[in-house]
Amino acid sequence: MDDATQTCREDLVLANHILAQNNVLDGFGHASVRNPVNPERFFLSRSLAPGIVTLDDLVEFDLDSNPVSSETRKLYLERFIHGEIYRKRPDVQAIVHSHSAAVVPFTVSSVPLRPIFHMAGFLADGAPVFDIAERFGATDMLVTCQEQGVALAESLDAAAVCLMRGHGFVSVGTTVQIAVYRAIYTQQNAALLETALNLGGPIHFLAPEEGRLADHSIQTVMQRPWGLWKARAEASQQ
């Protein structure tokens, strides 16, 4: 295996552990990375709680979300989230899907999830809400086929984060570090926004231009939080 692919697989294992440690993922949810050598493929764990994923658990998928080699292990039902976003968004290199308890209220509320601090500038233009019922009626709320994955990817469009009504959210990034960072800070911004709402009075969100400028700056220093998260995740595995 080439170095780029090896590094990206190791980063994906780390991403799983980091997201579990930060309570963005628990027994459910998942993270993936696009294959850096073959953009028509991506890596995602077999069906497993993210906190205990290892390199041996990673499965390579094509953009139809089928494993590229014969696979007998149980797979995530919602792998179509990943395949269809990678197909629609050539810029996206990594995806996180979470059921974060702090974020779920904003998937069903009329209060928009917009940035209230600079660390969530990637929410500058708001987070679209995917309502699976709009096209598929009453379902189990899970994205379990290509058509539902396509609909989610269409809702996401060019955004960094898409909320999923009554379910959770997806975050995307041009690197695995950015996708993980956005997932963690989507959760933080949701918690802080709820606090601000409880204070009462109107909310002074970041202006869209402020959010875009903040997002641009933060993306240049991803190695700093990643280094900390990586050290903590590795310490917790020992």
The residues annotated with a catalytic role in the active site are 78
Which residues, 6+ apart, have CB-to-CB distance to 232 below 8 Å?
Answer: 18, 21
Cα separation, 66 vs 60, whole angstroms: 8
E strands, 82-219, where? 94-98, 129-130, 161-164, 168-173
* Residue 67 CA: distances (Å) to CA of 41, 72, 74, 209, 210: 9, 10, 11, 41, 41
User: For residue 186, which of 233, 228, 124, 109 has the smallest C-alpha distance?
Assistant: 124
- The SS3 of residue 236 is helix
Strands 161-164 and 129-130 turn out to be: parallel
